[in-house]
Structures are given as structure tokens and as C-alpha cells.
Amino acid sequence: MSASVPHQSIVELRDVHVVHRTRGGGMFSRERVYALTGADLTVRAGETIGVVGESGCGKSTMAKVLVGLQRPTSGTVAFSGKDVWSMNAAERRLHIGAGVGMIFQDPATSLNRRMPVRDILRDPLDVHRRGTRKEREERVRELMALVGLPRSVADVLPSQLSGGQRQRVSIARALALEPGLVIADEPTSALDVSVRAQILNLLLDLKERLNLAMVFVSHDIQTVKRISDRVVTMYLGRIVEQTPAAGLPEVAQHPYTRALFSATPGLLSPLDPIPLVGPVPLATKPPTGCPFRTRCWKATDGCAIEMPPVRSGDGGAGSHEFRCYHPVPAGSSNTELVELARAATGRTTPLHVEESA
Ligand SMILES: Nc1ncnc2c1ncn2[C@@H]1O[C@H](COP(=O)(O)OP(=O)(O)OP(=O)(O)O)[C@@H](O)[C@H]1O
């Protein structure tokens, strides 16, 4: 994105690819899974970026790259301007660990089951040698108060806590070293519906109070739209669009973003999904050119030749970009797009039906 946005960048991904090698092509051969392809993303101080896309499109892979848990196959990941994968492991841990905190989907598996809450929270402070022992104990108490955990749970194990309390521990741990950025990968989806709103509100409150930047990965598109400044749409390992959240879905110009949002209950009334053709291709065999062309009602033969270059969208210089040869005119109504897609494809099947095909 352009340099016209005033905030300082915390993390920058440049042309990042993640390719996994997996068994699947027979006993002795390995298949390549293209989990992330050519990702460019800048996360700036204080902003909230929502990441959306269907299952398997690479959201978690990108989240792990952003927090230094996944080494890219190629491309650069720079924290505060420094390429972290050119550092040695110890330098990288120190550099990233202090700057970025990660909140995982399921606190039942992401917290050390043998450690009491106090030790879980003190661990990052010990590793990073923050303050004296007494100061670390004081910081643990502060963190517990920050996330609304009673002092009485300091000595209990995660298994003795409720799901909501466990996620509060994860949030406190992610904030232990006062990072400028928190990556939250589906932070509420493993929780009971009754506590989801509390945890989300806690995160938003902390974000404001501590002036954190946040990358929020979620299938809950309505929430993503509500809480984000910017929304990144991914499809088959690619970032296909970045838009300002305000004005979504009409501001979006990539046909996939419009289709995804049109299939989201609660955003448009009545729900009127844009029909798409066929299933999502396999991540082992992504199409040539634009990855969405096999399902897109606007695709032409030219879309198969190469990935469309980045174009600026009408949603604001520096904050709206997409990669498409045949973008939707900004402001097009959903009804208009549904009619065009039906006419072009002869299909009426909505996205969420195709997803399970
Ligand atoms: N360790 C791995 N080995 C092989 N393939 C992997 C590995 N991790 C992820 N993948 C594959 O990479 C692709 C992207 O996965 P990723 O988990 O990033 O998607 P996602 O958008 O987060 O999905 P979901 O919304 O279901 O969590 C998928 O095809 C997935 O199966």
C-alpha cells in the first residue's frame, strides 16, 4: 500500500510464498501445497486488519508468517524494518517475541497444560529477562487484572479454568511483553457462544487502551467488517483485495470479495448470494493466472495467462487495492451482480453451497 498513510509500519510482508511438501502424490512422491502465494501486506501501528476467505485459503498460514512461526519458502518478512529470517534464531525470537503477540483459536491446546496461570504469564518475561523477579511477579498480577482474571486463579492449571478464562490467559500472555501488534487467529470460534462477545469486547477494549495494531483472522465476516479498519480478502493462497472496511461490501471491486460478502448472512437484506461456478480448486493444483477465474462470472481466456497486477481501487488511495482484470465497478448493487452472474453462468448456486462441493 502507498506511503501516504501516516502510521509507522510494524510488519511488512513482501512477495511471501509458503509451499508445504506433503505426502499425497503416491507412496514415494510428495505434493506441493501452495498455502500462500506472493503475499504483500503492511501492518501499521494502531490499525486493525481483518482477514477473510473460505477455509483453506491461507489465512492461518499468513497469520503464522506475521508472527514468525512459519518460515516463508521465499519472500521477506520485516519487523520494524528488519528482515527477520536473515537473523539467527535467538535474535529472531527476541526481535519478534517482544513486538508481536499471538492469540490462537483454541486455548485448550495452545496453553501449556502443566503450568499454572502464574507461570504461563511469567514465562515470556523470564525468557526475555524483563526486570527483577519481583517486578515480573508484579507484571503477572497486572496482566491478570488487565484481562479480568481474579487473583485466585494464579495457581490453577488451564484445565481447571472455563473456556473464556483460558482465552483471557492467552490474551494476557500475548500482551506480556507489551507488543505493538497482536495477531488473533479465530480467537472466539472455539468458545461457547455465550462468552464469545465478552472475549471479543475485551480484545477491542485492550486494543483501544493499549493502542495495539491487530490482525484479526475470522470466518465471522460480519464481526470482521464491524471491528476492522481494513479488510484483506484471500482466495487460494492469494491476497486478492484489500479494502477499507467502511463501505463494504459495495466498495469492493474484486468479484470474489463481492461473492463472499453476498453469501454472508446479516450483511445484505435479503440474503442474495452471487452464484459461482464449480468448487474451489485444490491448493496442490492452483489454476494458472488468476486463481479465481475458474469460478468467476467475469473471467475471460486472458485471465489464465498471468496473475493480474495490483491495481488501486476507488475506495481510497493507499487503502484499496485489488488484483483483477475485470473488476466490478465500485458501488454496483448486489442485485445487479447476481443478475450478471446468473446470465453469464446459467447458475443459481450460491457460494456457501459450492464451498462444500
Ligand atoms: N503443515 C502443512 N502441511 C501441508 N499443508 C498444509 C499445512 N498447513 C496448511 N496446509 C494447507 O495449506 C492451505 C492453507 O491452509 P490454512 O490453514 O492457512 O488455511 P485457512 O484459510 O486458515 O483455513 P481455515 O479457515 O480452515 O483455518 C490449505 O490447503 C491447508 O490444507
Q: What is the pLDDT of residue 25?
A: 58
Atom 24 of ligand 1 has which residue's CA nearest to it?
Answer: 55
Instruction: Return per-residue pLDDT of the chain as tens, 357 residues.
Output: 443 444 689 999 999 999 999 876 566 668 999 999 999 999 999 999 999 999 999 999 999 999 999 999 999 999 988 999 999 998 898 888 888 999 998 888 889 999 999 999 999 999 888 889 999 999 999 999 999 999 999 999 999 999 999 999 999 999 999 999 999 999 999 899 989 999 999 999 999 999 999 999 999 999 999 999 999 999 999 999 999 999 899 999 999 999 999 999 888 878 889 988 888 999 999 999 999 999 999 999 999 999 999 999 988 777 899 999 999 998 899 999 999 998 887 765 555 433 333
Report which residue type is found at 171.
Answer: I
Distance 60 CA to ligand 1 centre (A): 7
The CATH T-level fold of domain 9-227 is Rossmann fold (3.40.50)
Q: Is the C-beta atom of 158 inside 6 A of ligand 1?
A: no
Residue 227 Cβ contacting ligand 1 at under 6 Å: no
Q: Whose CA is nearest to atom 30 of ligand 1?
A: 56
Query: Largest Cα–Cα distance of the chain, in whole Å?
Result: 70
Inter-CA distances, 280 with 10, 92, 207, 236, 296, Å = 33, 36, 35, 8, 11
**CB 35 less than 6 A from any atom of ligand 1:** yes
Phi, psi for residue 63 in degrees, rounded to 5: -60, -45
Q: Which pLDDT score, from 0 to 100, does residue 109 have?
A: 86
Give me the pLDDT at residue 357, please. 31
pTM of the model: 0.91
Q: Please give the number of the atom of ligand 1 that sits closest to the Cα of 53.
A: 21
Q: Are 143 and 202 in contact (CB under 8 A)?
A: no
- Percent helix, percent strand, percent coil in the chain, to nearest 5: 35, 20, 45
Nearest atom within ligand 1 for CA of residue 282: 29
Question: Residue 23's pLDDT is what?
Answer: 76
Most informative mutation of 22, 32, 52, 59 for ligand 1 (most atoms within 8 A of CB): 59
Q: What is the pLDDT, as a whole number, of residue 354? A: 39
The rounded Å distance from CA 5 to ligand 1 centre is 31
Domain parsing of the chain, residue ranges: 9-227, 249-354
Q: Residue 281: is the preceding peptide bond cis (ω within 30°)?
A: no
Please tell me the predicted confidence (pLDDT) of residue 5: 45
Atom of ligand 1 nearest to the CA of 58: 18
The rounded distance, in Å, linking the Cα atoms of 8 and 97 is 19
Give the neighbor-by-neighbor strand order of the sheet with 238-244.
100-103, 181-185, 213-217, 48-52, 230-235, 238-244, 321-322, 311-312
The pLDDT of residue 356 = 34
The pLDDT value recorded for residue 346 is 72
Q: What is the pLDDT of residue 352?
A: 47
